[in-house]
Amino acid sequence: MIEGFFIALLGLVIGSFLNVCIYRLPENLSVVYPRSRCGLCGTTLTALDLVPVLSYLVLKGRCRHCGGKFSPRYALVEILTAALFCWCWLVFGLTAVLPGSLILVSFLIVITFIDYDHQLILDKVLVLLAICGLVINLLTGEVGIVDMILSSLGGGGFLLVVALISRGGMGGGDIKFAAALGLWLGWKLLLLTMLGAFMLGGVGGVILLAFKIKGRKDHIPFGPFIAGGAAISLLYGSSILVWYWNLAAG
């Protein structure tokens, strides 16, 4: 139980940093300097203002200096990160696989929210994602080098074909995202990721339209659905594949 507490605490802290990345990276700002400020009055926030979730609750979502409202999404990202970190811990335990899964989940969160806000998946994030996947798999041996190369080329190539057929229905960022994920997951889990992404995209698109969050002419970013498919593959992909092969064989 104590392990879960520290994993959740780590998730809250990392989630606070991910908020900085989500806000600053699209603006080409440093994620390290300057210190966080209130977006309304410009006052530099102190450590007491930045305690994950707790500060938001104590201050009732407002700046302690000017009383301006903070977006509840800051707390949401922190809670989401903590929840996904705990989920990874429950699935993998304290094993060599856990650190890599936490890193991948962090990337997925950043990519999801930036793409939703700006319809953009940043190259600098994808390059770092690809490098981390390559290094971690070389260290752990979870995915072989040939598998990484083939799945990266296959995943990116598949979405490139979709983009060409749909004439712009798929963005270049989505193509590179799939290629980077190939270095993490290998071809089997990447294939499952793509299947999950299109299923989630179909359901998610209907929900967004039904609740009028998006209109019929609005662009719906596909990156969050790829991220969702990748998260499912990361956590349950091996079990899903075993279930499928047993079903096919039996």
- DSSP letter (8 states) at residue 61: T
Q: What percent of the chain has pLDDT above 70? A: 99
CA–CA gap between residue 33 and residue 13 (Å, rounded): 17
Residue 195 burial by Cβ neighbours in a 10 Å radius (0-12, 13-18, 19+): middle
Longest dimension (CA), the chain: 66
Report the 10 Å Cβ neighbour count for 107.
23
The residue assigned the tokens 């440093």 is: 30
Q: Which pTM value belongs to this model?
A: 0.94
CA–CA gap between residue 32 and residue 134 (Å, rounded): 25
Provide the CB-side half-sphere exposure for 247 (13 A, CA).
6
Say whether 193 sits in a helix, a strand or coil.
helix
| 143-178: pLDDT as tens digits | 999 999 999 999 999 999 988 888 777 889 999 999
Asked if residue 250 has pLDDT above 70, the reply is no
Nearby residues of 60 by Cβ (< 8 Å), 6 or more positions away: none
In this prediction, residue 77 carries a pLDDT of 97
Phi, psi dihedrals of residue 69, rounded to the nearest 5°: -80, 135
